[in-house]
Structure 1
Amino acid sequence: MTEQTETLTGPADASVQIKREGYVATVTLSNPTKRNALSHWVLEAIGAACRVCERERMRVMILKATLQHGTWSAGHDIGELPLDGTDPLAHGSALEAAIAALRHAPFPVIAQVQGSVWGGAVETVVSCDIVVADESARFAMTPANIGLPYNTAGLLHFTDRLGISAIKTMFFTAQPVEAEDALRLGLIDQLVPSERIEAQTRELARHIAGKAPLAIAAVKEQLRVLSDMRALPASALGRISEIRRRAYQSPDFREGIEAFREKRPAVFGGGEGEAQTVGTVQLTQALRVD
């Protein structure tokens, strides 16, 4: 079976390798100096890899990472998050574009996960079609640790796999979900021993690649469209935008980033004065009798 490998190289030692074997492509992320953080370049390279796989008529793509100190990916590259009051997760962001590439790819994407997965990398994994992991896998949604308000599109991607209660627990506590719990909750689809994960993931990919690709592509696209059929009224979107804006323009967001860089616990004020005023206004409106 013909095997071809190409490597996209980025800043410092970041790279994304694309290995094609038959109709199966294995895309391997590597950003060692930053524990495989999802920098803008890495996210753009994920999109580029999806386009290469589509152009080469791949039928399945495996997304994996070279383990860095037990980490699959540390999530967003904190150093690239803006602190100038602009939305760090705005529509059209690099993370959103990479996830869209995975979800719109006309072939199944299998995430092969070993080690810990943090923040935006968790959304990347749950946006893949199938997740295979070993016992070392653990998933933590940590935006609350740095005061980052997650966006609606990202939360909706979690609802495709998890119940609301599980999503709340992950986002409110920022605590890691261990592999067995992740399997129970639906974060992962197959939990396999570490010594078997490479072989089992390839076996699954080859099995799918042997099926009718056009039929599978049609099913994937229909399921994507059905999962996206959750229209929100303009008033709700406006309110969500305002709540998020207050968070990423608050001193808490800057404090969270600085505390992360200084490796110390963050001390969040919560915008106490503003929050009290807003709460008073809302309570007054709720008690008003016209």
Structure 2
Amino acid sequence: MSASDTDTPLHYWRDGSVAHIRFNRPSVLNAIDIPTAHAFLDACRSAHDDASVRAVVISGEGRAFVAGGDLAALAHDPVETAREIIAAMHGGIALLAAMQAPVLASLHGVVAGGGLGIALACDLAIAAEGTRFKLAYVNIGASADCGTSWALPRLVGMRKAMEIALLGETFDAEEALRLGLVNRVVPAERLQEETARLVQRLADGPTLALGRLKHAIRASHNRDLEAQLDAEAADFIACASSRDFVEGVSAFRDKRLAGFEGR
């Protein structure tokens, strides 16, 4: 797709079993206004409700992933505009966490404010060299949204989360990798290729098992060990009754690659 604004602030499409969500306001670095927020919620709902989706990739058109909220849109009526944007964005982020399919963020350019929140809400993240990250909220006199205050301390620890949030400083992709905010950093010219390769690997995997794993890991912070052990047992039994488990065991015994169907 070309890096130009259209009347659609976000594109959603399917490529086989992979769903794509791409922010499409490149002239403002994909800053989030009310129409963008509602389009994001609609796209997340489409991916969540489609059982044939086995992986999701979120990206941004043009020179950035997402540069945060659209300050021009917020300037006119900040309270009501913020209320509407946040409600839609939070609804979408909750759906990303709830869906069975794994979600991959493909990051480049600027990842700031709510854009960082979207990236952290994904299950995995890949970033191009040269990507710049910034929480940014304190620079405009605001607190956080899009789940950043939940995800940051879980990923980087309380002290580092405080530094990122309270100082609002910019850091690069290598630092994001060191902190565990992204999984891989690749040359910018290889970002699309590596994104496609990684998301296809996820889409070809045992979707039920991936979904159970994703939810178990996310829930582990809120459970004690005994509760987590019980959840693991229930998840494994559920997977053991799936066609993918039968195929996985058979492939292991036959010394061949498994052909998972996602059921």
- TM-score of the superposition, structure 2-length normalised? 0.74
Rounded Cα–Cα distance in structure 2 between residues aligned with 1:136 and 1:80: 28
Are residue 66 (structure 1) and residue 61 (structure 2) matched?
yes
Distance 1:92 1:142, change over 3 A: closer
1:19 partner amino acid: W
Q: Is the 8 A contact 2:121 2:147 kept in 1?
A: no
Instruction: Tell me if 1:156 matches 2:150.
Output: yes
- Per-residue CA deviations over 1:188-243 (Å, capped at 9, x if unaligned) read 1111111211111111111111211111111222223334569xxxxxxxxxxxxx
Segment of structure 1 superposing worse, 40-49 or 182-191: 40-49
CA distance in 2, matches of 1:23, 1:219: 19
Q: Which has the higher helix share?
A: 2
Q: CA deviation at 1:19?
A: 2.9
Does residue 146 (structure 1) correspond to residue 146 (structure 2)? The answer is no
1:103 to 88, 97, 115: 97
What aligned pairs does 1:257-272 form with structure 2 within 5 A after superposition? none
1:130 alignment counterpart: 124
Distance 2:83 2:223 in 1: 21
The answer for unaligned runs of 5 or more in structure 2 is 225-263
Among 52, 56, 60, the residue aligned to 1:57: 52
Question: Identical aligned pairs, as a percentage?
Answer: 26
Aligned to 2:12: 18
1:245 maps to none
Asked whether the equivalents of residues 13 and 32 of structure 1 are also in contact (C-alpha less than 8 Å), the reply is: no
Give the SS at the match of 1:161. Answer: helix
Q: 1:217 to 1:29 in 2, by over 3 A?
A: same
1:172 corresponding residue in structure 2: 166
Gapped runs of 5+ residues in structure 1? 1-6, 231-290
Number of residue equivalences? 219
Structure 1 position 76 matched with structure 2 position 69? yes
State the secondary structure of the residue aligned to 1:72.
coil
| Greater than 3 Å deviation, 4+ residue runs | 11-14, 79-92, 151-154, 227-230
2:126 is paired with a residue whose SS is strand
Cα separation, partners in 2 of 1:164 and 1:89, compared to 1, 3 Å: farther
Gap change, CA 1:204 and 1:91, over 3 Å in 2? closer
Given that 2:41 and 2:89 are in contact with CA atoms closer than 8 Å, whether structure 1 keeps it comes out as no
- Give yes or no for contact 2:9–2:25 (8 Å, CA) kept in 1: yes
1:89–1:151: 8 Å Cα contact kept in structure 2?
A: no
Over residues 88-147 of structure 1, what are the superposed CA-to-partner deviations in whole Å (9 max), with x where a residue is unaligned? 469972232221122112211100001011111111111100000011211111111111
Q: Distance in 1 between matches of 2:156 and 2:145?
A: 16
Contact persistence 1:13–1:31 (CA under 8 A): no
| Paired position in structure 1 for 2:25 | 31
1:127, 1:196 → 2: CA distance? 23
- Aligned match for 2:37, one of 26, 38, 43: 43
Distance 1:138 1:228 in 2: 31
Is the CA contact (8 Å cut-off) linking 2:127 and 2:186 kept in structure 1? Answer: yes
Residue aligning to 2:204: 210
Instruction: Report the 3-state secondary structure (helix = DSSP H, G, I; strand = E; otherwise coil) of the residue aligned with 2:205.
Output: coil
Task: Indicate if the aligned counterparts of 2:33 and 2:70 stay in contact, CA closer than 8 A.
Answer: yes
Over the residues paired in the alignment, what is the CA RMSD in angstroms? 2.8
